[in-house]
Amino acid sequence: MMIVSSRRDIIEYCLSFPGAYEDYPFDDIIDAGAWTVMRHRANKKGFAHIFERNGSVCVNLKCEPLRADFLRRVYEGITPAYHMNKEHWNTLVIGGVPDDELRRLIAHSYDLTKPKPKRARNARLMDIHDRLLARYGDPHWWPAETPYEVIVGAVLTQNTAWGSVTKAIANFGELSPEHVLAMTHGELADVVRPAGFFNQKAGYLQTVTRWYAQYGFSVHAVRKLPHDRVREELLSLKGVGRETADSIMLYAFGFPSFVVDAYTMRLVRRLPLPAGKNYEAVKSFFEQNLDCDVELFNRYHALIVINGNRHCRKEPKCDGCPLLELCGTGRQKEQSRLISKRDQSFSGKAQYGR
């Protein structure tokens, strides 16, 4: 195992923990004087704050106070934290603490700051998910061969049925960002014509592809960035709205970003769920009440779309819907149907009796 001896080594070691990312919240220029904060993607809490002081690389780590008290006596390189709470945080000078102890303490700090499991915090949401899953199975979304194809699909599907998107994607022949950037606007518009709004969508595709080019078309490079920054950058692009940005975040780059669409809004309204009425409120309701799990977010959104297509349409087909038992609107419709059936049979009997 490599010895952790430099700032970069610590960063790379921290990045090996699930959902970790590096952030530079205090510095515009990332140089030796900058503070690197290693955070959990799920709750954005920092678990390792790396900086340089008096010519040494240091890292602030969270630690149980009793354990910290013992370690401070054993190692000169561990002291109450510089610039942070001194009871719970410690500064470790790299080189002043054995490598295996340093790794253990990084893992300990990671565990102390990671999000607490939301055990059954929203059993209802999981009940909905489980019923949909039992009915439709795991859809294994998104239907695409590569992350870039997800990006293209997410842009082209705006205001268009998926069948038209697949025709447009098939028109590309070879679908790569390099190929798209080499095309003129007119050529691109011709290719994406089946998806509708082709002139606009060709422009949107060029814009999002140029954005991706900044990161060398590398999923890995994008995934290293903070979640919020990627979302903000995507939302700043012309033609990328919230649903498109979150679809790209989740399905192309694997960020835990819940996607909300018209089917989700409709389901929330009809069940109902106390999720609020606008996109951001509904998104954060799902994100806060489900475990932060990319696979779960991925599957959940796909299942809502499938049920929305088959049952929860504009005019709902509640008969046979897997959510009927949980759904206020569905139960109300069922009751009205039974009452009207009873009334019909009653009026039939009355006529017969006359």
Q: How many helices (H) and strands (E) does the chain have?
A: 16, 6
Alpha-carbon distance values, 231 to 66, 146, 156, 203 (Å): 40, 20, 19, 20
Q: Which stretch binds ligand SF4 (CB under 6 A): 40-48, 157-165, 275-283, 313-321?
A: 313-321
Contact map string, positions 34 to 73, toward ligand SF4, x by CB under 6 A:
----------------------------------------
62-79: buried (b, 16+ CB within 10 Å) or exposed (e) per residue? bbeeeebeebeeebebbb
Give the span between the Cα atoms of 281 and 145, in whole angstroms: 32
Q: Does 125 bind ligand SF4 (CB under 6 A)?
A: no
Nearer to ligand SF4, 94 or 273 (CB): 273
CB of 142 to ligand SF4, least distance (A): 23
Give the span between the Cα atoms of 220 and 21, in whole angstroms: 12
Nearer to ligand SF4, 153 or 322 (CB): 322
Q: Does 312 bind ligand SF4 (CB under 6 A)?
A: yes
Q: Which stretch binds ligand SF4 (CB under 6 A): 144-152, 253-261, 286-294, 312-320?
A: 312-320
Give the span between the Cα atoms of 183 and 188, in whole angstroms: 6
Q: Does 202 bind ligand SF4 (CB under 6 A)?
A: no
168-204: buried (b, 16+ CB within 10 Å) or exposed (e) per residue? bbeebeebebeebeebeeeebbebbbbbbbbebbbbb
CB of 341 to ligand SF4, least distance (A): 18
Closest-by-Cβ residue to ligand SF4 is 330
Cα 38 from chain centroid? 19
Q: Are 201 and 155 in contact (CB under 8 A)?
A: yes
Q: Does 306 bind ligand SF4 (CB under 6 A)?
A: no
Q: Does 316 bind ligand SF4 (CB under 6 A)?
A: yes
Contact map string, positions 317 to 336, toward ligand SF4, x by CB under 6 A:
xx--x-xx--x-xx------
CB of 333 to ligand SF4, least distance (A): 7
Using CB under 6 A, count the residues that bind ligand SF4: 13
CB contact set of 174 (below 8 Å; sequence gap of 6+): none
Chain residues 250-289 in contact with ligand SF4, contact rule CB under 6 A: 267, 270
Nearer to ligand SF4, 177 or 330 (CB): 330
Q: What is the largest CA-CA distance in the chain?
A: 104
Nearer to ligand SF4, 135 or 167 (CB): 135
Query: Contact positions toward ligand SF4, by CB under 6 A?
Result: 267, 270, 311-312, 316-318, 321, 323-324, 327, 329-330
